[in-house]
């Protein structure tokens, strides 16, 4: 077998070999086709039908509000200070252990005041606290 000497008129081959790329893509397509039906399988259950019921809410959440001047009130009843707020919340919690609090704070109230009220709610032992805002 004779080798031809390298001549100047032959160009080098600069093409990308796409055969391995096609092989990998075909393997991925096969894996996708095999696993796709497994993802959509589900158990068909016929659920029982019952009469419509309303939610069983024994007591509405407490509404704590902080106005622009920093005055605190529970359900529109003014509270003098944070100690009174905490003791009032503890008595409400004793009557209903599942009670929640909705906090209405004016946008001009400082964050420090809101944090103090949140701390009083936490010290009273109430775990359900929600902030109420209005939609823009």
Q: Which domain holds residue 97?
A: 62-131
- Exposure class string for 38-50: b at 16+ Cβ within 10 A, else e: eeeeeeeeeeeee
Is 39 part of any domain?
no
Is 123 part of any domain?
yes
Tens of each residue's pLDDT in the chain, 136 residues: 555 555 555 666 678 888 999 999 999 999 998 888 777 665 565 566 777 766 556 668 889 999 988 899 998 889 889 999 999 999 999 998 889 999 998 888 898 999 999 999 999 999 899 888 877 6
Q: What is the DSSP string of 34-91?
A: HHHHHHS-----------------SSPPEEEEE-TT--EEETTEEE-SHHHHHHHHHH
Domain count, the chain: 1
Q: How far apart are CA 49 and CA 65, in angstroms?
A: 42
Q: How far apart are CA 64 and CA 76, in angstroms?
A: 8
Q: How far apart are CA 45 and CA 31, in angstroms?
A: 30
Is 112 part of any domain?
yes
The CATH code of the domain that includes 93 is 3.30.420.270
- pTM, two decimals, is 0.56
Backbone angles phi, psi at 19, to 5 degrees: -60, -45
């Amino acid at each position: 077998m004779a080798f031809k000497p390298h001549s100047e008129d032959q160009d080098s081959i600069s093409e990308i070999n796409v055969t391995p790329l096609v092989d990998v893509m075909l393997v991925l397509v096969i894996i996708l086709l095999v696993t796709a039906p497994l993802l959509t399988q589900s158990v068909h259950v016929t659920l029982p039908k019952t009469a419509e019921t309303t939610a069983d809410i024994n007591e509405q959440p407490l509404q704590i509000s902080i106005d622009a001047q920093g005055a605190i009130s529970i359900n529109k009843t003014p509270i003098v200070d944070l100690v009174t707020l905490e003791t009032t919340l503890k008595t409400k919690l004793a009557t209903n252990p599942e009670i929640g609090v909705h906090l209405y704070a004016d946008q001009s109230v400082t964050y420090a005041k809101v944090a103090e009220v949140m701390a009083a709610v936490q010290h009273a032992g109430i775990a359900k606290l929600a902030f109420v805002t209005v939609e823009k």
